[in-house]
Chain A
């Protein structure tokens, strides 16, 4: 995967300086959170549902191989053509091959994070195939030549004015910044593409092992158009999208849609049970299911990190994260931003290049509290920090610094003494006291002469 996480610090600094971006991100995440709160609070058993979701995801990840073969068998029985891809390269090859065999030159596509992870579009375009993103947010991002900044709201970083200017420039339209009009313009342009494309590509939200059912969740109906109208439907998923049973769908739908968009259910949920047949009289002639491993089977065997595979990609941890709210999604430099991105990018892709991501957290735990499948996100961030240090990725200076800090913290006398020194320095240097990485943007706070501990000890008001 094309990771840009190595420049995280630089990107984050730039994003923090962009007040406009912060306003847009705060507004969007705030709206999502408020809606989520409403529909979650009306369920008295939300906590039990989360627990149940967690347990089912754990069962699948712990027995990934057997669930995978059960799913493949069921999907084949339904008439689907299943392809297993070990890595990104072979997944892209398989998809390209399917398209080439039907001599299609245009592909309509609905939202899929796995295809983002594959960088599928650029590969297909290099091979002369037009790829049209049809989810409105993805369409906007594609027109702008950008990547999504949020997993469920790809164009969250754009204002309606940004989009109006983009449409004006790329689609030769007059400028109007009314979301309804912009949406109508996209509808009009994409309708014909849907009707004529011979291949449609979609993602998969859940794949039921026992029945082979692919579940696709959406609001715009573009995924339905992509998966019903073209002759060939290619569904792209990763191995961990599997859930044990068809009967688990209501639970996971509840967890996903309420957390993601604050809806009790989305406008459309398609349960695809195979290609056209007597049972499925309309729909594509061929259904191809491409299942990507891409390091996930390895991750599933790791005692701690396997939990990252429980994720159902609702995006709630991004919305609630104070870091994400301040810098948006692009700064992370990974397809998966926010807390889950910071957990999964180092473990799944490249720890060295994404070593700064687990440190982009205040460890406040808001992500863990909101996660609908109870992934212990902030502890994973902590575990990964430890791993990054153990692997020796941190600089020598930082190591010395940490050693000194540790030495200081291990004795109350040394801690007290350091506090006094700090107080003295602050007194002499004033609020311009330098602290690298901190004071360029903030003032150094005043340090109390007497520490809280000594107050506790000596003052009868506080002491025991």
Chain B
């Protein structure tokens, strides 16, 4: 069952113009990224919580927490790749759910040219309903952070309904599921 959901998720991400790699362990994240992108390390910005998780197996870029808050936006604007974790994967639509965590600014998934999400297979939900109600329960007695649902790269069809990928947000979007 889980396997079926995972392959549905993968194909839906691809349908929406993104890529999705499934790897066996954290150790493979670094090599997968290396295979895809050859950016200098300074051009790759990693969210605080992603950096924490990846540090042991190889940090692919700069941990944003180590950058002075006032310099972060400038850095992200010039960055090639932003790397974040996520809080849920939706199989039905190929969507990644991101909560606005203190160590993971939303600008990371917005300003760099590419955005890659590192996820775990146990974060997979069949539909958005289940995932959102779980998030809501989690914050039942407090304020909820803002939530972003991301499906594929930014796109438009405003000119003659021709699909163009990469408008104001990332040109490319990928998910690595461990």
Contacts and interface: CB of A to CB of B under 8 A. Distances in A.
B158 A160 contact: no
Contacts of A232: none
B131 to A, nearest CB: 9
A249 B132 contact: yes
B32 interface: no
Interface stretch (B20-28, B34-42, B51-59, B141-149): B141-149
B136 to A, nearest CB: 6
Nearest to A245: B136
B4 to A, nearest CB: 16
Contacts of B95: 265
A153 B159 CA distance: 9
Contacts of B151: 263-268
Interface string A301-312: 000000000000
A332 interface: no
A46 B153 CA distance: 27
Interface string A206-248: 0000010100000111101100110000000000000000110
Contacts, number: 171
Given A28-B161, A221-B169, A247-B133, A278 B148 contact: no
Contact of B160 (A28, A219, A221, A282): A28
A77 B73 contact: no
Interface in B154-168: 154-162, 164, 166-168
Given A183-B167, A250-B127, A268-B149, A274 B156 contact: no
Given A211-B144, A250-B127, A265 B136 contact: no
Interface in B116-150: 127-129, 132-133, 136, 142-150
B93 interface: yes
Contacts of A261: 157
Contacts of A158: 159
A190 B168 contact: yes
A55 B127 CA distance: 22
How extensive is the interface on chain B, given as a class? 35 or more
A402 B105 CA distance: 66
Interface in A262-286: 263-274, 277-283
A27 interface: yes
- Which has the most chain A C-beta neighbours within 10 Å: B110, B136, B142, B157? B157
A228 B169 contact: no
Contacts of A32: 161
A275 B163 CA distance: 33
A219 B144 contact: no
Contacts of B145: 273, 279-280
A219 B149 contact: no
Contacts of A228: 106-107, 110
Contacts of B156: 136-137, 183, 219-220
Contacts of A361: none
A186 B127 CA distance: 35
Which 6 interchain pairs have the tightest Cβ spacing?
A221-B169, A137-B158, A220-B167, A271-B147, A269-B149, A179-B159
15 contacts: A32-B161, A136-B159, A159-B160, A183-B164, A220-B169, A229-B107, A246-B132, A267-B16, A267-B152, A268-B148, A270-B147, A270-B149, A273-B145, A280-B146, A281-B102
Interface of B: 12, 15-16, 73, 77, 92-95, 100-102, 105-107, 110, 127-129, 132-133, 136, 142-162, 164, 166-170
Given A183-B166, A270-B148, 4 more contacts: A32-B161, A213-B144, A279-B142, A280-B100
